[in-house]
């Protein structure tokens, strides 16, 4: 299992945190996601054989948020 912290911009309330958390944890290979509104970030535990940080960022973007590198 690997861990990465990605930037997540554009979250404005706890509902957004829930949306991003659900988006990330629904991905195959993701076991845990800790999303912080204050830090504008998400720390994700994932299986590097199934998914990578670029795909995590793309999923966040597809959910309507910004995930710059
Ligand atoms: Mo809050 Mo976010 O009212 O996707 S849920 S703005």
Name every residue whose Cβ is closer than 8 Å to that of residue 43 and which is 6 or more positions away in sequence: 3, 4, 5, 33, 34, 36
Residue 4, by phi and psi: left (phi above 0), alpha (psi -120 to 50) or beta? beta
**Where do the domains of the chain lie, and which CATH numbers do they carry?**
2-62 (3.30.70.100)
Q: How does pLDDT run across 8-27, given as a tens digit for each residue? A: 999 999 999 999 999 999 99
Average pLDDT, integer, range 46-62: 98
Q: Could you tell me the distance, in angstroms and rounded to a whole number, from the CA of residue 5 to the centre of ligand 1? A: 21
Q: Could you tell me the distance, in angstroms and rounded to a whole number, from the CA of residue 1 to the centre of ligand 1? A: 30
Closest ligand 1 atom to 20 CA: 4
Token pair listed for 3? 């861990």
Q: Could you tell me the distance, in angstroms and rounded to a whole number, from the CA of residue 66 to the centre of ligand 1? A: 14
Q: How does pLDDT run across 41-52, given as a tens digit for each residue? A: 999 999 999 999
Residue 6's alpha-carbon distances to 47, 54, 59, in angstroms, are 16, 10, 12
| pLDDT value at residue 26 | 98
pTM of the predicted model over 0.85: yes
């Amino acid at each position: 299992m690997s861990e990465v912290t990605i930037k997540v911009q554009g979250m404005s309330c706890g509902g957004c945190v829930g949306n991003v958390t659900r988006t990330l944890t629904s991905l195959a290979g993701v076991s845990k996601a800790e999303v912080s509104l204050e830090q504008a970030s998400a720390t994700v535990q994932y299986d590097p054989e199934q998914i990578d940080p670029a795909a995590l960022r793309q999923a966040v973007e597809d959910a309507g948020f910004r995930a710059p590198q």
